[in-house]
Structures are given as structure tokens and as C-alpha cells.
Amino acid sequence: MKYTIDKQERYSLLKLHEEKLDSSIAPKLKSELITIHAEGVKNIILDLSDVKYTDSSGLSALLVGNRVIQEDGGIFVLCGLSDHTMKLIKISQLDSVLNILPTTEEAIDAVFMNELENDLKEGEDEG
């Protein structure tokens, strides 16, 4: 699996350099997302702008990443989705489950908004 990872203070940006997110890639992506989370990363942005084709095992990997991150109060954002991947997500009715934004810039903004909301909630809980 070819990818690059950009680790920032508040998030990690993982860019997949593959044309297909299918059964040959999905298990590696799943384990990478779980590993990144286990290393203490709360927010992950997954840039899929190079991915032209996704199948059900690819979707499964995305859902695993989403679940693991959200259980910890973080945010998992997908960006740069191809029309094919977007259609598959909509057909599977996962567009209401997954956080999907057009660009990495918007995804980064979403991470910061999520962090602010979490900070506000913590403040309310303490007060």
C-alpha cells in the first residue's frame, strides 16, 4: 500500500497513493488506521484524491477507521473522493455516517471545529 502521512499536532493526514481501494489494499489501510489511532492520534484526515475505484472491502476499512476514531471523541474525515467512491457511499447510505468534505483544507477546518466543540463540552461537564 502506497501512502504518505503528515502528522500534525491535532491530526494526521493520510494520503493514499493508490488507484483502487479494494480487497488488496483495504486490510492494510484498516490496520494502518488502527495503528495511527493506537499511537495517540485522535483525528485522522484520509485524502482519497488518487483513488478512482472503491469496493465494499474499501468501504469497510473506512468504516473501521471512522468507528475507532469516533469512539475516542475524535473526527475521521474523508476528502478528495472520486465520483465513483462518492456514489458507492451514497448507495450504501453511508454519506450520513461518514464525514466527507471536498478538500483537505476543509477537512482540517472540520478537525479544528470538532476540537473546539469537544473543549466546550468538557468545560460544560466540569462547570
Q: What is the DSSP string of 11-25?
A: -EEEEE--SEESTTT
Q: What is the CATH number of the domain that holds 112?
A: 3.30.750.24
pLDDT in tens, 90-103: 999 999 999 999 99
**Helix boundaries (H) for the chain:** 26-38, 56-71, 83-91, 104-126
- The domain in which residue 79 lies consists of 3-126
Domain count for the chain, please give it.
1
- Predicted TM-score (pTM) of the model is 0.94
Q: Any residues with CB less than 8 A from the CB of 76 and at least 6 apart, and which?
A: 43, 44, 46, 65, 66, 68, 69, 70, 98, 99
**pLDDT band with cut points at 50, 70 and 90 for residue 125:** confident
pLDDT in tens, 49-72: 999 999 999 999 999 999 999 998
